[in-house]
A and B are shown apart, each in its own frame.
Chain A
Amino acid sequence: MSANQLAESLLALSQQEELVDLPKDYLLSESKDEGDGDGERKHQKLLEAISSLDGKNRRKLAERSEASLKVSEFNVSSEGSGEKLVLADLLEPVKTSSSLATVKKQLNRVKSKKTVELPLNKKEIERIHREVAFNKTSQVLSKWDPIVLKNRQTEQLVFPLEKEEPVIAPIEHVLSSWKERTPLEQEIFNLLHKNKQPMTDPLLTPVEKASLQAMSLEEAKMRRAELQRARALQSYYEAKARREKKIKSKKYHKVMKKGKAKKALKEFEQLQKVNPAAALEELEKIEKARMMERMSLKHRNSGKWAKSKAIMAKYDLEARQAMQEQLAKNKELTQKLQVASESEEEEGGAEEVEELLVPDAVNEVQMNVDEPNPWMLRSCTTGTREAATEDEDPEQLPEPVAHEVSESEGEERPVAEEDILLREFEERRSLRKRSELNQDAKPAGSQETKDSSSQEVLSELKALSQKLKENHQSRKQKASSEGTVPQVQREEPAPEEEESLLLQRPERVQMLEELEKEEWFQNKELSRPVLEGHWSEKTPNNHPDAPKKKKNEQMIDLQNLLTTQSLSVKSLAVPTIEMLEDEMERNQRQMIKEAFAGDDVIRDFLKEKREAVEASKPKDVDLTLPGWGEWGGVGLKPSAKKRRRFLIKAPEGPPRKDKNLPNVIINEKRNIHAAAHQISALAYENRASFAWLWSRI
């Protein structure tokens, strides 16, 4: 029943001045008896009704409205008084008496006490007990879990698991009956007693014990930890010293000594500023050391090494230098040390020495660290070196390239060629970059620089084409086509210098066309994967129509299908990325590409398969006996006729099952007899042990 409903009904009542329509029936029936006469009663009833609306006290109170003979003792109405009848009120006498107050209190107390709940039945109680007990017990039992787990997992258990240690009886128990008898013994024991040395328990003297007791636990712990640490440090230091001592390199020791000397000197300087007296002492020490050295004649030319060097000095420049160094050292040491100011000079010298000490390798390594790809260290350094040279003289760049090309021509080795080609690409790219940068810097840019750059490019391209021409000298090349190349190029760079890819394009296309003319696909030299990748990289993008079709016609061969697929993927991916990323990343990418140039999985697989096929082919048997029926000896071969006669050709076996499956190798050599002894299936729980087994076998 909501509050606003009540409010509405109240409002209606006050307006009509009579009880008309309250939702409850009993109110209606009652109000009919009464009539409209007295408003007070009605009001009272209304209040009662409202109070009964709260739901708790819905019970209809019996009411005596008329006089009757039958008066129920249970239904005592308190109507009219405005309150409900309370039990205590009935007990109350008309006039108050103190004697009944106690009874009232008792009554109140009785009423305030709640009834005790019924006990659970026995079954329920037992069940609860059992559950509680079970939980407790399983908790107790789970303390064994780690031990059980450990026992289950150990590879080997040796019983009894814990051996009884033999009990060692304390010495005082053993020696209780024993007494010193001889005078010597007595003397010894006297001494011991005097010094309070432990007689029976040999570990701690009373003093030590007392000191231990004096220390609190934390202190003792800390002290122990400190000691342990110190010991550990000492052992580390010792180990280090031992290690260093074992190093055989003389240079290392020399460097170390020098470093130490320098450090000492520095410290000495410091000391001089802070504490002059101590510095003087130090100085004396240094002087003494020098004297000792002087006396030992270490740096005279009397040692074995010095003698040998003296002999070698005539012929060997290095040896001569070493001699001179030695002499200088000798001089320096034999000079008498007098003033502190001299040390400054020495310090200067030392600095120089130190500069010398820092080996070149260190710098090199530093340079390498900057590079993103650590595998490429070697080629990287060469690259950086080249870059350095480029920075120095950008104008003279094409010449060394040409030089290199000529060199490589002399060598004629394919790998070297490939290398050089790659480097050339690299250089060209960097060159392009630089030209772009120049343009950015000076948008109005002098014509000269532009010209020069284009000149460079031209010359470089010329060199390249030259080289290529030479490469394919064996093939016929049309002079006209060669003539067209430079013309096209000459036109290109001027209008579109920003589009870097364009620069290389026409040449390449030209070349490809040429090659196609010359039946490029039959050429075996160029079938190296990297090169192929580069070629096919450009072709589909630039000329999607004609050459591609040609290719498709020619390349529908299962063997080749595999390789071409992989290459096409490469070609799609590479140029777009190159366009997007900046120089550093491109460099890195390039490097990674170079690093993995050899990792052609598909080609490897094909190779493997080829090898497998070769291996499975039946072999010819050669029965020729060299020297039989003719002269024999070193360098003499049996005649061809004889060889032909005694060669038994193996019959060609059945065709391989994987002949038409390019991406499968089917091994046809499975030994059925051995298979019976081999493991074919394995139960699930044995898999771990199986893995273990095969790691062992």
Chain B
Amino acid sequence: MKVKMLSRNPDNYVRETKFDLQRVPRNYDPALHPFEVPREYVRALNATKLERVFAKPFLASLDGHRDGVNCLAKHPKNLATVLSGACDGEVRIWNLTQRKCIRTIQAHEGFVRGICTRFCGTSFFTVGDDKTVKQWKMDGPGYGEEEEPLHTILGKTVYTGIDHHWKEAVFATCGQQVDIWDEQRTNPICSMTWGFDSISSVKFNPIETFLLGSCASDRNIVLYDMRQATPLKKVILDMRTNTICWNPMEAFIFTAANEDYNLYTFDMRALDTPVMVHMDHVSAVLDVDYSPTGKEFVSASFDKSIRIFPVDKSRSREVYHTKRMQHVICVKWTSDSKYIMCGSDEMNIRLWKANASEKLGVLTSREKAAKDYNQKLKEKFQHHPHIKRIARHRHLPKSIYSQIQEQRIMKEARRRKEVNRIKHSKPGSVPVVSEKKKHIVAVVK
């Protein structure tokens, strides 16, 4: 006689070790969980609130400079090392983990206009108001040695910016013209000019490394090709562009920080319309830097705040400010995409978290799981009005807040005027210009 028995696979209900979590058999049929969505909603709401509670982005302030910090540079190989140049010609090298200055060099007389590191991380270059380009060793001098630059190039005009090639022993300076230098020579390999105004910054493209972008004080952005030793194209904007930054993940995208409070992201193949106009600042934008993921960038502004923008959004997702931070002159996103550094007028370098509420340090697996779960919940319910309101809420200093209000009114008035003009003129006689096109004066071939 055959006896039928229930047989179960013990693998399905027996733990391998006693440290494992108990297996909880579950039926995921949504009909059995009518309150799933409300429960998740509450969780998402709580997660959003907690995110705002824990949003404490400010990490440290590095003080030691005796004048405003004019430029910053990252070490290409070492996450903890940062270089900064001040307005009194002093260059300092900082250790971020210790939050200490590890070396001080009196590099120039007058401003240190630009600083950049070599791609290998063994040396760095500075340019200053004293018409010199100096190359320095990254390591400090040995005992008894003098603090001296490796090379010094005396130029004829003032250099206002410098950037190093990402792969070769070549660097570029800007001033009256854009010069491409070989490290071994005292004369530039080639000089490229287009127009006569002074050029404020020059940047190498990190992917197509022969490409350069520069911005000049006659309101234009000029692109150069190093191999063909020729400028490529020029776009003239409404106001002066202070710096540009190339997207590290997308070879043809760069963002320009403009005096008219906006940032413009361009596709360099189509300069007549920017891909995106980023507007939230209430004063001139002085510096911009991409995160290494190429998804976001940070901008420093004269309005004493820094903002983080997603590349494809016109509004910022985050704004950082402190009471003591004055006009922010330079900003950098660290290579591990976790921190932001900014140097400001009042002689300090500040270190911020890129995600304001992120927990630092090693996370346990359960913490990580909870974080991921909350992240997903927030994403799922992000459009719900209460959650959205909480997630968007930021405190601002009164000056910025009032300026935002003021500018909103101005903008609205301008818009109303334009609408009225269109309304009361012959149809088609007043063209409707989109916000993107409005700020482009011309593209020069």
Contacts and interface: CB of A to CB of B under 8 A. Distances in A.
Contacts of A131: 445
B76 to A, nearest CB: 15
B233 A134 contact: yes
A379 to B, nearest CB: 34
Given A130-B233, A133-B228, 6 more contacts: A126-B230, A131-B445, A144-B252, A159-B293, A677-B384, A679-B385
Interface string A686-697: 100110010011
A697 B34 CA distance: 11
Given A141-B251, A148-B249, A693-B380, A159 B292 contact: yes
A696 B37 CA distance: 10
B386 A677 contact: yes
A678 interface: yes
B445 A140 contact: no
27 contacts: A129-B228, A129-B230, A130-B233, A134-B223, A134-B233, A136-B228, A137-B211, A138-B252, A141-B208, A141-B251, A141-B268, A141-B269, A144-B250, A144-B251, A144-B252, A148-B249, A148-B250, A151-B250, A159-B293, A677-B384, A678-B384, A679-B383, A679-B385, A686-B383, A690-B383, A693-B380, A697-B37
> Main SS of chain B's interface residues?
loop
Interface in B242-257: 249-252
Interface string A166-206: 00000000000000000000000000000000000000000
Interface of A: 126-127, 129-131, 133-134, 136-138, 140-142, 144, 148, 151, 157, 159, 676-680, 682, 686, 689-690, 693, 696-697
A133 B233 CA distance: 9
Interface string B365-385: 000000000000000100111
Nearest to A127: B445
B355 interface: no
Contacts, number: 71
A678 B383 CA distance: 9
A141 B252 contact: yes
B62 interface: no
Contacts of B249: 148, 151
A632 to B, nearest CB: 35
Interface in B176-210: 207-208
Nearest to B383: A679
A676 B383 contact: no
B41 interface: yes
Contacts of A127: 445
B57 interface: no
B81 interface: no
B383 A693 contact: yes
Contacts of A126: 230
B216 to A, nearest CB: 16
B232 interface: yes
Contacts of B149: none
Contact of B269 (A142, A151, A697): A142
A131 B41 CA distance: 56
B207 A144 contact: yes
A137 B223 CA distance: 11
B385 A696 contact: no
B360 to A, nearest CB: 18
A138 B267 CA distance: 10
Given A133-B228, A693-B380, A676 B250 contact: no
B84 to A, nearest CB: 26
Given A676-B385, A680-B385, A133 B251 contact: no
B140 interface: no
Contacts of B251: 141, 144, 148
Contact of B232 (A134, A676, A689, A697): A134
**10 shortest interchain CB distances as A-B pairs:** A134-B232, A138-B269, A141-B252, A144-B251, A148-B250, A133-B228, A133-B230, A679-B383, A134-B233, A133-B225
B383 A682 contact: yes
Contacts of A686: 383
Given A130-B233, A134-B233, A157 B293 contact: yes
A298 B337 CA distance: 77
Given A140-B208, A148-B250, A130 B232 contact: yes
B445 A134 contact: yes
A130 B445 contact: yes
Interface string B326-358: 000000000001000000000000000000000
Contacts of B337: 159
B229 to A, nearest CB: 9
Contacts of A697: 37, 380
B384 to A, nearest CB: 6
A148 B250 CA distance: 6
B128 to A, nearest CB: 32
B383 A137 contact: no
Contacts of A157: 293, 295
B167 to A, nearest CB: 16
Query: Which of A130, A693, A696 has the largest count of B CB atoms less than 10 A from its CB?
Result: A130
A677 B445 CA distance: 53
Nearest to A674: B38
A151 B249 CA distance: 9
Given A141-B269, A159-B337, A133 B232 contact: yes
